[in-house]
Structure 1
């Protein structure tokens, strides 16, 4: 028979059956947590503290108490998963991560959280479990390690890609000063030092509040980790606090309060010589695997190449900019009656020299010449051509040649250099007493004019071919455009680097510039700075030059005064003088006598050139007073006074003064010390008012 009593007794449940949930969780090393997202308070039960290897006395109920328990890469990955779950509105999340024990060893842990939200749907609380996952991931460990290796490789690739955009050393320094650099590298702190004149200059540290006094500049032979790796050209891995304090006691005394426990110092080597060192510091003690060491070495190699490239960029750019600045005028002279502001900025993208230039040339008779130009190309040859062009333009203008002649001769000079370069240019000659400006343009951008009320307009200047090309094709004619510059008005001349961006419309750039000028400050130098800073942000592959000319002084009533220097054997200057007289007479409302004035002026200039050995200077002005008179003066260096001769029936000369007497209302000769001036005056009616009355 079966002993049913015995069987029943043997099958009786234990006294503690069923087991309480707390016992089951403890046996499976599963703890719980409750995280208040609003206040940041965190509750961990005893099992959770044991799983996280957190002593109860070290836990004060804050999420920050767990800092350092998780490797940086695991903590970053866990934070990202939690943030993604909160953002996507999910009710739960789960994640595997590693926890570092008191001995420094790592073991796998799993957490799962349930997200609670308030009435507005905002996350306010997370409740969940924490359990040991070491046995569970016994087989999956290698896979997680592979994921970790991929993560580290991605970090190196990310840093390398970010540094690929750094053009200057300062760009590299700014990258490492950014707090995200520490996060990308997975370290708690970082330091970057560069070798300068036998010393190590600490150029970046992060976060900045942990800077150690006395480490900004150190010697290569000092007892510092950076000094070691620069001397030996080998990385230095420090895996414990004890190793740190033993090898570098001075430095350890100053960083031990920060909580640093390990570090990796990497030499930055370019072309077989050290250029600096990078230090990655960690708050937890860690052993660096061979894979991590290889990745760090790859990172240091990439960083060294980026810095070396940036150093070369800086050196070449400084050399190019210095050479460019040496080619430009060292100073802009003080011009009575005018204020001039100039700026030059080299290309932001590229380290070549540009061919842009400006110049301001004081001229006799209260005049000033203003030049803006751009030689084709961005190299030393372009800079050399620019320097020569600037000199010859200044020489031709100082000799007194007309603007059209200055431009034509500069073009011939460039062509005779037998270079393959051409240049665009605008030359303006301003009479500051009258405000009359004569402009000639050789393939360059039209200037702008800012009026006293702030409005801006584009000046359409008649133009010829670029310098060099006009001589090559035999088209040296440069028409002159005459405008009046009132007191307080500003003539703005610039190169295309200020307004032209590849892929965009030039007119759009002009409109953007005009708007900036219209809304900009009145102060001329502040305006020049604005153009360089605001508009200059659009610069890519081209440099730029700017010249601003503002006229001061009261307006001259009666129309003003124009003057032209005419050298011997200079037909272009003679033509420019005729054009000047024609334009002035038309602008002053004396059109009814324009033929007479032009004929007499031409006769006087021709006589001066034929009967003297020097040049002639022709001046036309509107005389103030109740009677409107146009006065023409022709000066030369000869003291011989003109005399009237009676021409024979077949005579071809001797009729000049007879013509002057017949066509003018008054004329005379004045001694000028080193020469003489022949003058004549024409009484004119106010043609402009007459036209208004007729209408």
Structure 2
């Protein structure tokens, strides 16, 4: 007896499925089983596909994928349908994958048999079938694919999209809905297979409603409804809502995470499903994976919302436009975690008409670093707005940061945190910048011809290291067309670079993009992390090594300048008290054309009193700096006397015969503004006089420092 006769007698056919060529080779019996012309031949894959039930065709891909990956038999039960979709018979396929041709490609071929079987398919209305090898393999392949897809979903929308695309072995639903719980009500998180608006009757349904999803949430147990009659019998109150969708079977399963029912999942079928133990097992497993995926997605979305909220509240910002100067900045957070960190920049209008530019970096890239950055930024703004000089601002900020660490007393929180910072006070009229630096990278000056040079500046320890740290000041003057760049180390040291090699990488960018300042800012960030937008923040990549903050300031060409300032500097040593007379003389010379002679007399009296107090009450020398700025009739005089003593002056009430104690009383009565600025070591006493009688931007006396 020939093999062909044996195969025909047992209703068994042979086939070869060539995935790469898209063809299926059938013998006569296999062709007959598939309702094709009963003769051997090669058929197009689409022609063969039209003979399989659509659900089974989707299922076989998962089975074949598993067989190809493991090199095992691919077994599946497939329903054969006619042109109208009626099931004619069920066949069992057993095939083995052949080696890829060419080797290493994703193409494969299956060779095997097709045999007609009589037992019902899982999902039919017949009696449940025992677990067979092909059903088990189909289920395992499906669950592996479903678990992988759900694990990769990063948002609730993606989870719902994956759930809607799941093709369960033999009984795929045509519609689904995911219900959540808010208080005592059901909410619809998402749905598929229904039209927009179909969910309205089910929205915000109370948990006491006679509805399957509500019962599932109340009891924590699944509800299976294999027929419309069963649905109508068990839930008559809400049957009318479900009947209009034309489905034949429903499964409602609890979504449970950590022992808590967070909602319910509804799977609806247009064909009858018996919900055999095997099918219930698959549905239960999918529900568990779906619940875990939704919980992860919810946590991720909450985290992203927190990140966006932090970014919005702590977003670096530029202040008003600076006459004669252009400013550009970029802030790019790290790509991982909450996308917030400790880098920041700021631009602060000062009481003396100048502008403070601040850039800094708090250690770390987490929420604590971001919170500490926010506190430090506010503190710096407060100190700057009080009119303190750059060295005093940083000295106070360091003391503030040390105080935070001491208050928490937890090294895991803020005790081990420090911050680098560069504070520059810019005078738009003259282009001068007084810079104080706390462990931060030096600025870079780009000349008008495009040459970029690191500008060495004096500096002190990072903020938060020592309570009484000293921060010397360096003066930099920007000529017309020159640009200064302030940045955090993330711009320089990313990508395995140190300060030296990072500078080598950035220098050509600075020298080749010396035109538009916004384009230069973008080019700097692109040189490190790739394209970005013109906004101060924006995603560049999924992962970045460090935050980036960069601040650019350019002095424009051809802007009319105000009169240059007049300045006089003099040191009065302890052994040379006679130089106080020289200071009085220099001040009168400085103010030789001042409109109000009485103000000149007042200034001379105050500088004499301030210098004398230094010689009498301290052991150090006095440094006197007087500066007059502005146009005639609208000028501002600022006089500072600096000494090395940390003891602050106190207001006293001298009697008529007293020979001292009138210094602060005189300043309060004669000066338009005055104050005392403690430094890292020593202090500065200052006063201001306004030639017009009122300042353009009134200074606020630092009264708190004189108590």
TM bucket, shorter chain:
0.5 to 0.7
Is 2:421 the counterpart of 1:431? no
Query: Any residues of structure 2 matched to 1:308-347 within 5 Å, and which?
Result: 308-315=295-302, 318-319=305-306, 322=309, 325-326=312-313, 332-341=319-328
Matches within 5 A, 1:114-513: 130-132=114-116, 142-144=132-134, 147-148=137-138, 150-151=140-141, 154-155=144-145, 157-159=147-149, 161-162=151-152, 166=154, 170=155, 172-177=156-161, 182=166, 187=172, 191=176, 193=178, 195=180, 198=185, 200-203=187-190, 205=192, 212-215=195-198, 218-221=202-205, 229-230=216-217, 233-237=220-224, 239=226, 253-254=244-245, 264-270=251-257, 274-279=261-266, 286-294=273-281, 296-315=283-302, 318-319=305-306, 322=309, 325-326=312-313, 332-341=319-328, 348-351=335-338, 354-363=341-350, 367-377=354-364, 385-417=372-404, 419=406, 420=415, 421-447=417-443, 460-469=456-465, 471-472=466-467, 475-480=469-474, 482-484=476-478, 486-487=480-481, 491-496=484-489
Aligned position for 1:29: 11
Corresponding residue for 1:110?
A: 94
Distance in 2 separating the partners of 1:125 and 1:317: 46
1:643-682 alignment, distance < 5 Å: 672-674=691-693
What's 2:652 paired with? none
Instruction: Return the alpha-carbon distance in structure 1 between the equivalents of residues 106 and 15 of structure 2.
Output: 20
Aligned to 1:648: none
Deviations 1:626-649 (A, max 9, x none): xxxxxx996459xxxxxxxxxxxx
Give the distance between the partners of 1:79 and 1:508, measured in 2 at CA: 49
1:554 and 2:548 are equivalent in the alignment: no
CA distance in 2 between counterparts of 1:548 and 1:395 reads 23
Closer, same or farther in 2 for the Cα pair 1:394/1:550, shift >3 Å? same
- State how far apart, in whole Å, the 2-side matches of 1:262 and 1:449 are: 74
> Is the 8 Å Cα contact of residues 33 and 44 (structure 1) preserved in structure 2?
yes
Matches of 2:444 and 2:175, distance apart in 1: 52
Please state if 1:97 is matched with 2:76.
yes
Note closer, same or farther for the CA distance 1:467–1:310 as it changes in structure 2 (3 Å cut): same
Task: Give the aligned partner of residue 608 of structure 2.
Answer: 611
- Rate the CA distance shift 1:457–1:610 in 2: closer, same or farther, 3 A: closer
Give the deviation of 1:368 after TM superposition: 1.2
Structure 1 length normalisation: TM-score? 0.60
Q: Contact 2:326–2:555 (CA<8 Å) still a contact in 1?
A: yes
Q: How far 1:98 sits from its partner (Å)?
A: 1.7
* 8 Å contact from structure 1 (residues 328, 387) kept in 2: no
Write the deviation string for residues 10-35 of structure 1: whole angstroms up to 9, x where unpaired. Answer: xxxxxxxx8895x5543121235687
**1:524 pairs with one of 518, 527, 530:** 518
Query: TM-score normalised to the size of structure 2?
Result: 0.59
Alignment RMSD (CA, Å): 6.0
Any conservation in 2 of the 1:335–1:362 contact (CA below 8 Å)?
no
Alignment deviations for residues 236-277 of structure 1 (CA, whole Å, 9 cap, x no partner)? 445568878998665565576xxxx76654332346655444
Asked which structure has the greater CA Rg, the reply is 1
| Counterpart-to-counterpart distance in 2, 1:105 and 1:520 | 77
Q: Once the 2 structures are TM-superposed, how far is the Cα of residue 519 of structure 1 from its aligned partner? A: 7.0
In the alignment, which of 55, 64, 67 is matched to residue 78 of structure 1? 64
Q: Are the counterparts in 1 of residues 63 and 75 from structure 2 also a CA contact under 8 Å?
A: no
Count residues with an aligned counterpart.
557
Which one of 47, 56, 65 corresponds to residue 61 of structure 1?
A: 47
Q: Is the 8 A contact 2:627 2:639 kept in 1?
A: no
For residues 54-95 of structure 1, the C-alpha deviation after alignment (integer angstroms, 9 at most, x for no partner) is 999xx993424324363754442236668999xxxxxxx974
Distance 1:32 1:453, change over 3 A: farther
The structure-2 alpha-carbon separation of the partners of 1:389 and 1:505, relative to structure 1 and needing over 3 Å to count, comes to: same
Q: Is residue 321–residue 346 contact of structure 1 (8 Å, CA) maintained in 2?
A: no
Q: CA deviation at 1:603?
A: 11
SS, match of residue 56 in structure 2: coil
* 1:499 shift after superposition: 5.9
Name which of 16, 21, 30 aligns with 1:48: 30
Structure (1 or 2) with the greater helix fraction: 1
